[in-house]
Structure 1
Amino acid sequence: MINLRIQAVKIFLSFFLVIVTLYAQKGDIIGQVIDKETQSPLIGVNVVVVGTDRGAATDPDGRYHIRNIPVGTYNLTFHMMGYEKIEKLNIPVSPDRISQMDVSLGISPIAGEEVIVTATAFVKARDAVVSDRNIDYTELVRDPGGAMDVQRMMQALPAVVSGADQENEIIVRGGEPAENLFLMDNIEIPNPNHFGNQGMGGGPIAIISPLFIREVDFYAGAFPARYGGKASSVMDIHLKEGNREKFYMDMDMGMSGIGLFAEGPLANGDVSYMLGFHKSYLDLIIKNFGMTTVPQYYSLQGKLVWYLSPKTKLIWNGLYGNDAINIGEGDESVSQGAEYVDVKGYEYATGLTLKTLFGKNRYSLITLSNVGNYWNYNVKEGMADGSRNTFFTKNDLETEWTLKGDYFHCINNRHDFMVGANIKYIQFNHKDWFEGDTAWTYYYHPYDDPTDTTFYYTADDYYTDNPDTFTTHGIAKIYNEWNLDKNIWTTRYAVYGQYKWKPIPKIIITAGLRYSKFEYSNYSMLAPRFGFSYKLTPVTSINIGYGKHFQEPAYTHFTANLEKNRKLKSRSTEQYVLGIEHLFTKDMKGSIEIYQKDYQNLSLPRSWIEHDSLDYYKNEMVSIGEGYSSGIEFFLQKKLSKDFNFTISYSHYVAKRKDVRREDEPYYTADYDFRDVFTFISGYRWNMHEYKWYRNVRDKKLWKAMSWLISPGDEFEISVRWRYTRGRPYTRQTYDPFLRRWYTSWSTDINTERLPEYHRFDLMILRRWMYKSTAVVAYIDIMNIYGRKNVWDYVYNSDGTKNKIYQYSLFPVGGFTLEF
Structure 2
Amino acid sequence: MALLMLLGASASAQDTTGVGAISGTVVDSMGRPAAGVRVCALDTSVCVTSDAQGAFRMGELRAGAYRLEILPLEGLPFTSDAVNVRAGLDGTVEITLPQGENFQQTVTVTAPAFQAPEEVKNSGFLVAPREILKSAAALQDVSRYVQGLPGVTIGTNDFRNDIIVRGGSPLENLFVVDNVEIPNINAFANFASAGGTVSLLDAELLQDVTFLTGGYPAPYINRTSSVLQVTQREGNRQEFGGWTTLGFAGAGVILEGPINAGKGSWIVSTRRSFLDLFTQDVGFGGVPIVYSVNAKAVYDLTPRDRVWMVNIAGIDEIRLGLSDSSDLEEEIANFDIRYDGWRSATGFNWQRIFGSRGVGLFGVTHSEAKVGQQVKDLVAQGVPPPNLSPEEVIARSPVVYFEDSREGESTIKYDLTVHLPFFDTVQTGGSFKIFRISYAVNSPFGNDTPYSPAPGIDPFFLDTRFRSYQTGGYLQASKQVTSRVNLTLGGRIDHYDILSKTRFSPRAGVNVRLTDALSWNSSTGSYYQQPAFLFVSAFPQNASLVPWRADHYVTGLAWSPNTNLRLTAETYRKTYTDYPVASGL
**Which of these residues, 393, 396, 399, is aligned with residue 405 of structure 2?**
396
Q: Which residue is equivalent to 2:471?
A: 493
Cα 1:183–1:438, aligned 2, differ >3 Å: closer, same or farther?
Answer: closer
Deviates more, 1:375-384 or 1:276-285: 375-384
Q: Which amino acid aligns with 1:583?
A: S
Deviates more, 1:165-174 or 1:295-304: 165-174
**Which of these residues, 145, 158, 164, is aligned with residue 171 of structure 1?**
164
Cα 1:146–1:225, aligned 2, differ >3 Å: closer, same or farther?
Answer: same
> How far does residue 497 in structure 1 lie from its aligned partner after superposition?
0.9
Q: Secondary structure at the match of 1:344?
A: strand
Q: Secondary structure at the match of 1:605?
A: coil
Cα displacement string for residues 486-520 of structure 1 (whole angstroms, at most 9, x for unaligned residues): 01211011011111011112111001111001111
The 1-side partners of 2:518 and 2:575 are apart by 29
RMSD between aligned residues: 3.5
**Which of these residues, 267, 275, 295, is aligned with residue 282 of structure 1?**
275
**Which of these residues, 192, 202, 215, is aligned with residue 199 of structure 1?**
192
Q: Which residue is equivalent to 2:437?
A: 428
**Which of these residues, 328, 334, 347, is aligned with residue 351 of structure 1?**
347
The 1-side partners of 2:329 and 2:359 are apart by 51
- After superposition, residues 160-309 of structure 1 pair within 5 angstroms as 160-163=152-155, 164-287=157-280, 292-309=285-302
**Which of these residues, 546, 557, 560, is aligned with residue 535 of structure 2?**
557
1:60 equivalent to 2:56? Answer: no
Q: Secondary structure at the match of 1:269?
A: coil
Cα 1:436–1:148, aligned 2, differ >3 Å: closer, same or farther?
Answer: closer
Cα 1:333–1:413, aligned 2, differ >3 Å: closer, same or farther?
Answer: farther
The 2-side partners of 1:417 and 1:333 are apart by 63
**Does the CA-based 8 Å contact 2:362-2:414 persist in structure 1?**
yes
1:82 equivalent to 2:56? Answer: yes
**Does the CA-based 8 Å contact 2:511-2:520 persist in structure 1?**
yes
The 2-side partners of 1:268 and 1:575 are apart by 49
- After superposition, residues 706-717 of structure 1 pair within 5 angstroms as none
Q: Secondary structure at the match of 2:373?
A: strand
* TM-score in terms of structure 2 length: 0.77
The 1-side partners of 2:121 and 2:20 are apart by 24
Cα 1:476–1:551, aligned 2, differ >3 Å: closer, same or farther?
Answer: closer
Aligned length: 495
Cα displacement string for residues 426-466 of structure 1 (whole angstroms, at most 9, x for unaligned residues): 12211012343799xxxxxxxxxxxxxxxxxxxxxxxxxxx
Cα 1:258–1:333, aligned 2, differ >3 Å: closer, same or farther?
Answer: farther
- After superposition, residues 38-57 of structure 1 pair within 5 angstroms as none
Q: Which residue is equivalent to 1:134?
A: 126
Cα displacement string for residues 145-171 of structure 1 (whole angstroms, at most 9, x for unaligned residues): 111211111122111111132221111
> How far does residue 286 in structure 1 lie from its aligned partner after superposition?
4.3
The 2-side partners of 1:476 and 1:285 are apart by 44
Q: Which residue is equivalent to 2:62?
A: none
The 2-side partners of 1:118 and 1:503 are apart by 31
**Does the CA-based 8 Å contact 2:304-2:354 persist in structure 1?**
yes
Q: Which residue is equivalent to 1:319?
A: 312
Q: Which residue is equivalent to 2:151?
A: 159
The 1-side partners of 2:175 and 2:345 are apart by 12
The 2-side partners of 1:372 and 1:207 are apart by 14
Q: Which residue is equivalent to 1:377?
A: 373
Cα displacement string for residues 503-546 of structure 1 (whole angstroms, at most 9, x for unaligned residues): 11211100111100111111211100000000112222100100
Cα displacement string for residues 608-667 of structure 1 (whole angstroms, at most 9, x for unaligned residues): 4xxxxxxxxxxxxxxxxxxxxxxxxxxxxxxxxxxxxxxxxxxxxxxxxxxxxxxxxxxx
**Does the CA-based 8 Å contact 1:42-1:58 persist in structure 2?**
no
The 2-side partners of 1:488 and 1:275 are apart by 35
**Does the CA-based 8 Å contact 2:160-2:196 persist in structure 1?**
yes
**Does the CA-based 8 Å contact 1:178-1:199 persist in structure 2?**
yes
Q: Which residue is equivalent to 1:532?
A: 510
> How far does residue 288 in structure 1 lie from its aligned partner after superposition?
7.7
Cα 1:245–1:390, aligned 2, differ >3 Å: closer, same or farther?
Answer: farther
**Which of these residues, 342, 358, 365, is aligned with residue 362 of structure 1?**
358
**Which of these residues, 576, 588, 592, is aligned with residue 553 of structure 2?**
576
Cα 1:351–1:37, aligned 2, differ >3 Å: closer, same or farther?
Answer: closer
The 2-side partners of 1:477 and 1:43 are apart by 63
- After superposition, residues 749-764 of structure 1 pair within 5 angstroms as none
* TM-score in terms of structure 1 length: 0.56
**Does the CA-based 8 Å contact 1:125-1:217 persist in structure 2?**
no
Q: Which residue is equivalent to 1:666?
A: none
1:405 equivalent to 2:414? Answer: yes
> How far does residue 43 in structure 1 lie from its aligned partner after superposition?
9.8
Deviates more, 1:119-128 or 1:273-282: 119-128
Q: Secondary structure at the match of 1:146?
A: coil
Q: Over alpha carbons, which structure has the higher Rg?
A: 1
Cα 1:320–1:202, aligned 2, differ >3 Å: closer, same or farther?
Answer: same
Cα 1:288–1:41, aligned 2, differ >3 Å: closer, same or farther?
Answer: closer
Q: Secondary structure at the match of 1:151?
A: helix
Cα 1:369–1:137, aligned 2, differ >3 Å: closer, same or farther?
Answer: same
> How far does residue 240 in structure 1 lie from its aligned partner after superposition?
1.4
Q: Secondary structure at the match of 1:138?
A: helix
1:103 equivalent to 2:81? Answer: no
Structure 2 gaps, min length 5: 1-13, 26-39, 47-53, 59-64, 66-81, 95-108, 379-383
Cα 1:256–1:549, aligned 2, differ >3 Å: closer, same or farther?
Answer: same
Q: Which residue is equivalent to 1:510?
A: 488
**Does the CA-based 8 Å contact 2:16-2:361 persist in structure 1?**
no
> How far does residue 42 in structure 1 lie from its aligned partner after superposition?
7.5
> How far does residue 326 in structure 1 lie from its aligned partner after superposition?
0.3
> How far does residue 587 in structure 1 lie from its aligned partner after superposition?
1.7
The 2-side partners of 1:40 and 1:476 are apart by 58
**Does the CA-based 8 Å contact 2:286-2:320 persist in structure 1?**
yes
**Which of these residues, 576, 580, 583, is aligned with residue 603 of structure 1?**
580
Cα 1:122–1:479, aligned 2, differ >3 Å: closer, same or farther?
Answer: closer
> How far does residue 106 in structure 1 lie from its aligned partner after superposition?
3.6
Q: Secondary structure at the match of 1:401?
A: strand
The 2-side partners of 1:211 and 1:219 are apart by 22
Cα displacement string for residues 275-329 of structure 1 (whole angstroms, at most 9, x for unaligned residues): 1100001223544868741100110111111210111011110111000000021
Q: Which amino acid aligns with 2:202?
A: S
Q: Which residue is equivalent to 2:71?
A: none
Q: Secondary structure at the match of 2:300?
A: strand
The 1-side partners of 2:159 and 2:361 are apart by 37
The 2-side partners of 1:100 and 1:380 are apart by 59
> How far does residue 390 in structure 1 lie from its aligned partner after superposition?
4.3
Taking every aligned residue pair, what percent have the same amino acid on both sides?
26
> How far does residue 413 in structure 1 lie from its aligned partner after superposition?
9.3
Q: Which amino acid aligns with 1:401?
A: S
**Which of these residues, 581, 594, 607, is aligned with residue 571 of structure 2?**
594
Q: Secondary structure at the match of 1:557?
A: helix
Cα 1:119–1:502, aligned 2, differ >3 Å: closer, same or farther?
Answer: farther
The 2-side partners of 1:353 and 1:128 are apart by 23
Q: Secondary structure at the match of 1:602?
A: coil
